[in-house]
Structure 1
Amino acid sequence: MMKLQGGLLQWSRSSLIPSIYTPINKTQFSISACVIERNHQLTAKERRQLRNERRESKSGYSWRQEVEEKLIKKPKKRYATWTEELNLDTLAESGPQWWVVRVSRLRGHETAQILARALARQFPEMEFTVYAPSVQVKRKLKNGSISVKPKPVFPGCIFIRCVLNKEIHDSIKEVDGVGGFIGSKVGNTKRQINKPRPVDDSDLEAIFKQAKEAQEKADSEFEEAQRAEEEASLLASQQLLASSNSDVIETVAESKLKRAPRKATLATETKDSKVKKKKLAAGSTVRVLSGTFAEFVGNLKKLNRKTAKATVGFTLFGKETLVEIDINELVPEIQS
């Protein structure tokens, strides 16, 4: 008797040879029972040997060679200990590299200048380059002058090329306005630092290209604005000239219509100059300069200087008519 999958199954040697009258399902149960029992009889060593034989039976396959290749390709550790990875002096082994420094977004250009002066003062023999990608934006002021201001392409970042070690690293971080280097966290739970990561040459070329394209775009926009402003000013001057010419023509036409004879004009000017010398007085003959009674001559009856009014008598239709007129409209009449 043999126990299989929670049920009882009879097994005998004759059961391996199915008879004609044996149903198909019984034959299947007998064979599966035999195979399962045979597998259970294999030891671990025998199964391992069978597996190795199957591997070796494959043509051109060597599992030992595959394992050796995997071990060879396994990357080796760069640093022997974790404390060695924290040593910033190992950055100098790669030689001059481009590094990214975090700065203030508003004072990035000024911080780059301060950093360059500080490095030149502290490390006079070191070769370095400080690069702050920016676009020189031009703008025309109201007084006609052109203002040029730098606009950063990457606000909050400047680039420096040098041989970096711990001393230079600490000196750069101490500069006013510098927030540190862009890198990655290294170390373990005991101690961690932000280790600077150099910039690849391909990335740096893309940065240079982007800054150049931004500068060309800004220059083209300024030139277009200048041309548009010149065209607008030229059009405005032409319109002003045309309007002034029309005004001059109208003024000349009006002056021709209103022009008086030269002799009469001279006589009037001479007469007015003499009149100014003579003062108004009651009983004198006066002439009206403007208003309803312009160029009328009458007799001054009353003169009230407080109200600046005068009563003048005019002879109209054979009768004398009294009219009150402003003093400024009267002048003494000079009898020739």
Structure 2
Amino acid sequence: MEDKQWYVVNTYAGHENRVKENLIRRVETMGIEDSLFRILVAEEKEIEYKNGKKVEKMRNLFPGYLFVEMIMTDEAWYVVRNTPGVTGFIGSSGGGAKPFPVSPEEIESILRRMGMSDQKLVVNFQVGDTVKILSGPFAGIEGTVDSMNDDAQTAMVLTILFGRETPTEISYTDLEAI
């Protein structure tokens, strides 16, 4: 028997949640709960301020894509591909070829960003160390680790921006010890 793995499903942009609901319904009606498990729309909370009020909304990290944890059986593959709103799998060369799964490291990074990961990252830096920011708006900037939050897997990094020391919260996955 194959292991369950994560796959990326292409959908019409803006229809990710509708496709997720369709897929959940189809899994139940087709009785394939033993080969299709979690269905994720990768979203993270975004805080905006409108008219002085704090507004929380969800922002889709990958518009037009769903992440599906499944065992790639012929039946499960058929059900997902033929769900309304699904335009295909990423990593399939077409012509009936089954897609390649997402690497465990990639899906772990996405789950961690959504706060859904059980795995804790082991880091090679500590408070007081100099680190380099690997991605995001501060990519390439170096700073000093001021504090660490192992539960949230983030570090407060002091960077020099516009001649001022600025504390910035950065995910462990986006930091590298120098």
Bin of the TM-score, shorter chain as denominator length? 0.5 to 0.7
1:158-177 aligned within 5 A: 158-177=66-85
Q: What's the offset of the Cα at 1:207?
A: 2.0
1:130 lines up with 2:18 in the alignment? no
Alignment-mate amino acid for residue 158 of structure 1: L
Q: What's the offset of the Cα at 1:125?
A: 4.2
Bigger radius of gyration: 1
Q: CA offsets, 1:263-303, max 9 Å, x none?
A: xxxxxxxxxxxxxxxxxxxxxxxxxxxxxxxxxxxxxxxxx
Instruction: Decide whether the 8 Å contact of 2:32 with 2:76 is kept in 1.
Output: no
Q: What's the offset of the Cα at 1:131?
A: 1.3
Match for residue 206 of structure 1 among 92, 95, 109:
109
SS of residue matched to 2:63: coil
Name the % identity: 23
| 1:156–1:174 distance in 2 versus 1, CA, 3 Å | same
Instruction: Decide whether the 8 Å contact of 1:153 with 1:211 is kept in 2.
Output: no
Match for residue 111 of structure 1 among 7, 19, 23:
19
| 1:178–1:184 distance in 2 versus 1, CA, 3 Å | closer
Q: What's the offset of the Cα at 1:169?
A: 1.2
RMSD of Structure 2 on Structure 1 (CA): 2.8
Instruction: Decide whether the 8 Å contact of 1:136 with 1:150 is kept in 2.
Output: yes
**Which structure shows the higher strand fraction?**
2
| 1:138–1:98 distance in 2 versus 1, CA, 3 Å | same
1:285-296 aligned within 5 A: none
**Which structure shows the higher helix fraction?**
1
1:255-274 aligned within 5 A: none
**TM-score normalized by the length of structure 1:** 0.30
CA distance in 1: counterparts of 2:33 and 2:67, whole angstroms:
20
Q: Which runs of 4+ in 1 moved over 4 A?
A: 138-142
**TM-score normalized by the length of structure 2:** 0.54
Of structures 1 and 2, the one with the larger relative CO (CA 8 A, separation 6+) is 2
| 1:125–1:160 distance in 2 versus 1, CA, 3 Å | closer
Q: CA offsets, 1:141-181, max 9 Å, x none?
A: 66x6x654321111111111121211111111221111111
1:255-334 aligned within 5 A: none
Instruction: Decide whether the 8 Å contact of 1:138 with 1:147 is kept in 2.
Output: yes
1:151 lines up with 2:59 in the alignment? yes
Instruction: Decide whether the 8 Å contact of 2:44 with 2:60 is kept in 1.
Output: yes
Alignment-mate amino acid for residue 130 of structure 1: I
2:7 is aligned to: 99
CA distance in 1: counterparts of 2:31 and 2:56, whole angstroms:
32
CA distance in 1: counterparts of 2:2 and 2:71, whole angstroms:
8
Q: CA offsets, 1:169-213, max 9 Å, x none?
A: 111122111111112327xxxxx334211112112112223445x
Instruction: Decide whether the 8 Å contact of 2:11 with 2:87 is kept in 1.
Output: yes
Q: What's the offset of the Cα at 1:117?
A: 2.3
Instruction: Decide whether the 8 Å contact of 1:112 with 1:131 is kept in 2.
Output: yes
| 1:211–1:166 distance in 2 versus 1, CA, 3 Å | same
| 1:137–1:119 distance in 2 versus 1, CA, 3 Å | same
